[in-house]
Amino acid sequence: MRDDTSLPNVDLKEPNSRRAIVAGLASHGIVLLRGGNGRESLIRAGRSLLTIRLHRDSDDDGVTTIVQRPVPEGSSVTGFSDRALWPHTDGSAVERPPRVLMLGCIQPAQAGGHSHVVDGRTLYDEIARTDLAMLTALSTPRSAYFGGGLGHLGAVFQEIENDRMAIRIRFDALARFSPVVTPYIGRLRALAQDRTITLDLREGDGYVVLNDRWLHGRSQFSGERTMLRIVGDPHSYLGLRSGFQPTVTGAGPLRAA
């Protein structure tokens, strides 16, 4: 795992912050945020970018407050515990996951609780370079099931438009894989761990990611920790395309876009 300072970074107090966020999402699929001033600041930024989706655990304004509470082991709400969360796709169990996720830090943990993000395009490119059989398996339709009784049957990598791909993955008990895919999950998990970027978010910091490209998670923590989360879909007039264009396929290098 590594820290990374090369990612786009935007101060929410700047008057052109929305334009800078959109540019960063278009180029990198992720933008680090700073200068947040609590809940209203995150909501303003979210509404300028997204049609906010209400969530099972969100308030009426669409903001989910993530704090520690008693959670059973293996529960779908592990995010509300102090346990580590493997990088994953938000909403993997629904047919159409939210395209954008925003996270803002209100209070960092006393120890641990670092945010983890993984670029799905780097995973795809590495697999395309090194293991075509693995890429084929992970792209096979109806080979991965995410969720409980009303989950989603699909694939880890899905072509969505004009050679653009989307990633959908989780590594917990709510993910099940076909015999074709299962032998490759260990390597996929190892690749994700090796390419994890660690973010030490302080009060007022945050990030926004394209959820069909970037995975997100966190390390275990102790002490009180409060994060605010918003999910939704980008306004169409912003022109943010779905997924990512690989730079490598099984046939060789492609031009990035």
Average pLDDT over residues 71-91: 75
Tell me the CA distances in angstroms from 212 to 101, 108, 156, one per residue in order. 10, 26, 11
Pairwise pLDDT comparison (161 vs 11), residue with the higher score: 11
Report the domain count for the chain.
1
> Does residue 20 register a pLDDT over 70?
yes
Please check whether residue 196 lies inside any domain of the structure: yes
Determine contact, residues 103/206, Cβ cutoff 8 Å.
yes
Please check whether residue 188 lies inside any domain of the structure: yes
- Domain that includes residue 244, residue range: 10-249
Average pLDDT over residues 23-41: 96
Please check whether residue 256 lies inside any domain of the structure: no
> Does residue 252 register a pLDDT over 80?
no
User: In this predicted model, what pLDDT tens digit does every residue of 145-194 receive, in sequence order?
Assistant: 999 888 999 999 999 988 899 999 999 999 999 999 999 999 999 999 99
Task: Provide the pLDDT confidence category of residue 57 given band limits of 50, 70 and 90.
Answer: confident
Please check whether residue 2 lies inside any domain of the structure: no
What pLDDT, on the 0 to 100 scale, is given for residue 4? 59
What pLDDT, on the 0 to 100 scale, is given for residue 176? 98
Please check whether residue 5 lies inside any domain of the structure: no
What pLDDT, on the 0 to 100 scale, is given for residue 257? 41
User: In this predicted model, what pLDDT tens digit does every residue of 105-121 receive, in sequence order?
Assistant: 999 999 999 999 999 99
Task: Provide the pLDDT confidence category of residue 1 given band limits of 50, 70 and 90.
Answer: very low
Please check whether residue 60 lies inside any domain of the structure: yes
Query: Cα(160)–Cα(12) distance, rounded to whole angstroms?
Result: 32
Please check whether residue 254 lies inside any domain of the structure: no
Percent of the chain beyond pLDDT 90?
79
Instruction: Output the average pLDDT for the chain.
Output: 91
Query: Cα(65)–Cα(52) distance, rounded to whole angstroms?
Result: 15
CATH of the domain at 23: 3.60.130.10
Please check whether residue 174 lies inside any domain of the structure: yes
Task: Provide the pLDDT confidence category of residue 88 given band limits of 50, 70 and 90.
Answer: very high
